[in-house]
Amino acid sequence: MTAIERVLRKMYLDGFVKGLAENASATKWYISWHLGRKRGRVDRALIERYFAEHEIRRLHIGCGTNILPGWLNSDAFPVPDHILHLDATVPFPFADGTLDCIFSEHMIEHISYPDGAAMLRECHRVLKDNGKIRISTPDLRFLIDLYGDEKSTLQKRYIEWITENVIKTAPYSDATFVINNFVRHWGHLFIYDDKTLRASMENAGFGTITRHELNESGDAGLRNLENEKRMPPGFVRLESLTLEGTKGQFGTR
């Protein structure tokens, strides 16, 4: 075996062992988490209790730390027992037509485009007729505009803040680093624009699709939901695209 072959073999084995260790740690965490949820009994009880206590049933997908009063808040791997475990890439644990509205903020970009389409179909299935969905997600147009030569004061502040607080390896503050980071960081898998998200919602069966500013809606029950405080003022609003759709109504604007 040559010296180069020995080096390559060591690099391969070291990487393999590291992968085993990382996978073992992740597996151990998942088993512990699953046991803590009592193999799904915690989540079944959460759904039953919520449905028994609420005549108007609202599902919040991907809540993170933004816990909404009166909503069935859910996340992929929640630790608190009062947050529902919901994997949005598989069929939802609800019967057809049982929910009044669904809200999801900066979550759909963390799953693939096909999984996002499947999620929207599940949302349509579990909503009642005339039930509403509100999706907020990063807007591809925001990234394109960020690259333009003429930048607003807010865009400049955003680039500087992200570079300083998120992209530690950037040699200087520039939109190119921010854009590259945005489409890869935080587990982002697909960044929508208005046209693509609108088409996905229409393909899932939603109609009367309307665009709104953050925390604003023609429906009082869908106002003041997004968490703008997680970033400096104006940043989440700069990033975001928000569309609402209705089950059983058609037309778009």
Q: Where are the alpha helices (DSSP H) in 152-193?
A: 153-165, 175-182
The set of residues, in sequence order, having a beta carbon less than 8 Å from that of 80 and lying 6+ positions away, is none
125 and 214 share one domain: yes
Q: Give the domain CATH number at 221.
A: 3.40.50.150
Chain segment 152-171, per-residue pLDDT in tens: 999 999 999 999 999 989 99
Chain segment 219-245, per-residue pLDDT in tens: 999 999 999 999 999 999 999 999 999
- Decide if pLDDT at 82 tops 80: yes
72 and 185 share one domain: no
Q: How far apart are CA 163 and CA 149, in angstroms?
A: 18
Longest dimension (CA), the chain: 73
Number of domains in the chain: 2
Backbone angles phi, psi at 208, to 5 degrees: 45, 55
172 and 65 share one domain: no
- Decide if pLDDT at 20 tops 90: no
78 and 162 share one domain: no
Q: Are 240 and 137 in contact (CB under 8 A)?
A: yes
* Alpha carbon 170 to chain centroid, angstroms: 26
At residue 12 the predicted structure's pLDDT band, cuts being 50, 70 and 90, is very low
Q: Is the residue at 212 inside a domain? A: yes
182 and 213 share one domain: no
81 and 177 share one domain: no
169 and 77 share one domain: no
At residue 10 the predicted structure's pLDDT band, cuts being 50, 70 and 90, is very low
Note down the domain range covering 61: 53-138+199-229+239-247
Range 223-232, long-range pairs (CB < 8 A, 24+ positions):
225/68, 225/103, 225/105, 225/134, 226/66, 226/105, 226/136, 227/64, 227/65, 227/66, 227/105, 230/65, 230/66, 232/157, 232/161
Vertex 246 angle, CA 225 and 248, to 5°: 160
What would the two tokens of residue 128 be?
């009642």
102 and 223 share one domain: yes
pTM across the whole model: 0.86
